């Protein structure tokens, strides 16, 4: 099948207009077949863009290295180009959409000379699901095509669902460097200089325009761009939720299962939790998704979630057999690695993989690298944001329901952040609206080294959506409240929890071991959904009694008291920070209901002092 066979007149016209603007040498339709995937991988290997890995150790795997300027999401060049700046809100970069489209159209003109224009019809979510959405990405990057073939459902079946006049989200992408005759990309993928990189979203017209970057979050436009920034706008208008959340299935020893979602800022263990191996005997955790959840009410009045993705775009450094065995196995075959180190026998290595570097490596910059533990200034062999793109179907813990088109019924929603102090191990909201309040104040403490700010400063990341909400975040808070108010049956709404695996003593000792031991907290969450858990009401919400959560080895009773206590003074400081530095930025868009919750929290804390 090729572009001429597309039956959707609007789609064909749109492709033709973009091809006329960008002047590619050829146009190829991505059909989603394994043969085309192999052909594209061979093309990248033969051109020097990719290295085929050792088939005995990493069958079907390749390694790509990027330009050093193109290694992560470029937040400062990411725009929500709504018709007004107020509609984009204070947490997004904004440009006038007419001006932005003019600048980008000029950049797109002739940018695919010497390249092939690939047309990628893709479904976010199981094809044909009532919760799924269709997008079409036009790109000149075979790296993008092959990654999208892993991360989404691509090809003819998508076009069949689209039909002759179905709705799709149009996605433009170019690496932004036309090739002169006989020129090649020289072993790393091409990209434009920083001032010409744009990752642009147009909420009113539901368009995504990306230029100048080949990196995943900037170039795989089904991921953060469609699945969150544009999807949040669609969800707002259609009455559902598009969230930066894992989805997991937990089953108790009696065989009863429940499904949970969880939102966590970066570096808070979201993927680890999604693929957790429980330490509690008889309990089982399975993976539905590790990054994004779309939730919509079902006919029975429950909130159902799908994972709109078909793969994992995981961070490699720190992933090991002990930290996340299931992720490591997921990426052991048929995987695209980006910016990790290459061993002499064509295997991959990264910092935190669980063993020392095996001899001489080629680092992510393409240079020879030998591990020297004595040299504390040695630069890492793998980029800290190095990635693996692996099919979700290869995950040992994948749940049988992960591709159910109707989704899975959600019993609980977790919010969490990295907080050494104040926030307890777990507490539950009093109801849905109070849970929205908890989601709106989530934050993680950062170091001066990380963000050039005072050590201990709280970086608020409401709902873990700060970089991903496609409209004014104050209005996003209101949408969450509205979804709860519109529940067909309030008794069936998911229970909402705030967790914190990262408490420390004043001396810097971890109070909670985390990883698989987090299953002990999930067990309490499960039992709260069943109505069997021991609990106590506090000024901050519902908390476990001291004996409600089984203590892991090494956690003393005193530690547990600390983990499950309400730090009145710490919470009053929290209230002060929210009132002074966080909520004011949303101005008139902050829902009054949330301001009332903040007032009540302060009053309850002072009454308990």
Other Cβ atoms less than 10 A from the Cβ of 31: the count is 20
Question: Does pLDDT of 451 surpass 60?
Answer: no
What is the model's pLDDT at position 450? 39
pLDDT per residue as tens digits for the range 60-117: 999 999 999 999 999 999 999 999 999 999 999 999 999 999 999 999 999 999 999 9
Say how far apart CA 275 and CA 246 lie, in whole Å: 10
What is the model's pLDDT at position 454? 52
What is the model's pLDDT at position 506? 87
What is the model's pLDDT at position 6? 93
Question: In a 3-state reduction of DSSP, which class is residue 24?
Answer: coil
pLDDT per residue as tens digits for the range 244-297: 999 999 999 999 999 999 999 877 889 999 999 999 999 999 999 999 999 999
Please say whether the beta carbons of 251 and 286 come within 8 A: yes
Say how far apart CA 212 and CA 196 lie, in whole Å: 6
Domains belonging to the chain, first-starting first, are 3-46+76-239 (3.40.449.10), 243-310+399-608 (3.90.228.20), 312-394 (2.170.8.10)
Question: Does pLDDT of 449 surpass 50?
Answer: no
> Looking at the chain, how many residues does it have?
609
pLDDT per residue as tens digits for the range 49-75: 999 999 999 999 999 999 999 999 999
In eight-state DSSP terms, residue 552 is P
For 27-52, the DSSP string reads: EEE----HHHHHHHHHHHHHTTSEEE
Question: In a 3-state reduction of DSSP, which class is residue 184?
Answer: coil
Q: Please give the average per-residue pLDDT across 188-193, as a whole number.
A: 84
What is the model's pLDDT at position 180? 78
Q: Please give the average per-residue pLDDT across 161-167, as a whole number.
A: 96
Question: In a 3-state reduction of DSSP, which class is residue 293?
Answer: strand
Beta strands in 101-245 (DSSP E): 116-124, 133-139, 153-154, 169-174, 198-202, 207-211, 241-243
Say how far apart CA 406 and CA 46 lie, in whole Å: 42
pLDDT per residue as tens digits for the range 194-208: 999 999 999 999 999
pLDDT, greater one: 218 or 185: 218
What is the model's pLDDT at position 416? 95
Computed over every residue of the chain, the mean pLDDT equals 95
For 557-571, the DSSP string reads: HHHHHHHTS--HHHH
Compute the 3-state secondary structure of the chain and give helix, strand, coil in percent, each to the nearest 5: 35, 20, 45
pLDDT per residue as tens digits for the range 171-182: 999 999 887 777
Q: Give yes or no: 191 in active site.
A: no
Please say whether the beta carbons of 269 and 254 come within 8 A: no
Phi, psi of 604 (to 5 degrees): -65, -40
Catalytic residue among 61, 225, 268, 395: 268
pLDDT per residue as tens digits for the range 577-603: 999 999 999 999 999 999 999 999 999
Say how far apart CA 83 and CA 207 lie, in whole Å: 13
In eight-state DSSP terms, residue 416 is E
Band (5; pLDDT cuts 50, 70, 90): confident
pLDDT per residue as tens digits for the range 337-370: 999 999 999 999 999 999 999 999 999 999 999 9
Say how far apart CA 385 and CA 392 lie, in whole Å: 20
């Amino acid at each position: 099948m090729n572009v001429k066979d597309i039956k959707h007149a609007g789609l064909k016209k749109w492709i033709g207009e973009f091809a006329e603007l960008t002047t590619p040498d050829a146009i190829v339709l991505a059909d989603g077949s394994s043969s085309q995937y192999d052909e594209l991988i061979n093309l990248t290997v033969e051109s020097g863009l990719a290295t085929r890995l050792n088939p005995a150790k990493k069958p079907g795997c390749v390694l790509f290295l990027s330009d050093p300027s193109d290694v992560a999401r470029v937040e400062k060049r990411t725009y929500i180009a709504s018709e007004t700046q107020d509609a984009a809100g204070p947490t997004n970069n904004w440009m006038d959409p007419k001006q932005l489209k003019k600048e980008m159209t000029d950049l797109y003109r002739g940018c695919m000379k010497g390249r092939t224009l690939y047309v990628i019809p893709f479904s976010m979510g199981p094809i044909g699901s009532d919760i799924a959405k269709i997008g079409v990405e036009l790109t000149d990057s075979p790296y993008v095509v092959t990654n999208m073939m892993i991360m989404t459902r691509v090809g003819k079946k998508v076009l069949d669902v689209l039909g002759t006049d179905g709705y799709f989200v149009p996605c433009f992408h170019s690496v932004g460097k036309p090739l002169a005759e006989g020129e090649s990309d020289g072993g790393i993928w091409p990209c434009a200089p920083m001032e010409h990189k744009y990752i642009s979203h147009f909420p009113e017209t539901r368009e995504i325009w990306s230029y100048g970057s080949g990196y995943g979050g900037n170039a795989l436009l089904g991921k953060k761009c469609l699945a969150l920034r544009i999807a949040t706008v669609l969800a707002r208008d259609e009455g559902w939720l598009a969230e930066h959340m894992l989805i997991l299935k937990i089953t108790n020893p009696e065989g009863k299962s429940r499904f949970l979602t969880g939102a966590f800022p970066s570096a808070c263990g979201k993927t680890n939790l999604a693929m957790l191996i429980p330490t509690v005997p008889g309990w089982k955790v399975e993976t539905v998704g590790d990054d994004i959840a779309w939730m919509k009410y079902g006919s029975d009045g429950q909130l159902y979630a799908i994972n709109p993705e078909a793969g994992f775009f995981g961070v490699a450094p720190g992933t090991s057999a002990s930290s996340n065995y299931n992720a490591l196995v997921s990426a052991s075959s048929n995987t695209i690695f980006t910016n990790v180190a290459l061993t002499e026998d064509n295997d991959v290595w990264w910092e935190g993989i669980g063993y020392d570097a095996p001899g001489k490596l080629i680092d992510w910059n393409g240079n020879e690298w030998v591990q020297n533990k004595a040299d504390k200034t040695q630069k890492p062999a793998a980029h800290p944001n190095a990635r693996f793109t692996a099919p979700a179907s290869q995950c040992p813990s994948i749940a049988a329901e992960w591709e159910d088109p109707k989704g899975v019924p959600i019993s609980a929603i977790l919010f969490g952040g990295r907080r050494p102090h104040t926030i307890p191990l777990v507490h539950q909201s009093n109801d849905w609206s109070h849970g929205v309040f908890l989601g709106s104040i989530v934050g993680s403490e950062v170091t001066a080294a990380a963000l050039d700010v005072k050590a201990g400063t709280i970086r608020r990341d409401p709902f873990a959506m700060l970089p991903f909400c496609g409209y004014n975040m104050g209005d996003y808070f209101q949408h969450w409240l509205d979804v709860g108010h519109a529940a067909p049956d309030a008794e069936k709404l998911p229970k909402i929890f705030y967790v914190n695996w990262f408490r420390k003593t004043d001396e810097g000792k971890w109070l909670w071991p985390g990883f698989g031991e987090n299953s002990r907290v999930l067990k309490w969450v499960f039992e709260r959904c069943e109505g069997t858990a021991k609990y106590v009401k506090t000024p901050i919400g519902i908390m476990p009694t001291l004996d409600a959560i089984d203590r892991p080895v090494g956690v003393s009773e005193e530690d547990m008291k600390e983990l499950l206590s309400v730090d009145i003074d710490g919470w009053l400081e929290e209230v002060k920070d929210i009132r002074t530095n966080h909520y004011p930025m949303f101005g008139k868009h902050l829902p009054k209901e949330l301001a009332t919750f903040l007032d009540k929290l302060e009053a309850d804390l002072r009454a308990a002092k």
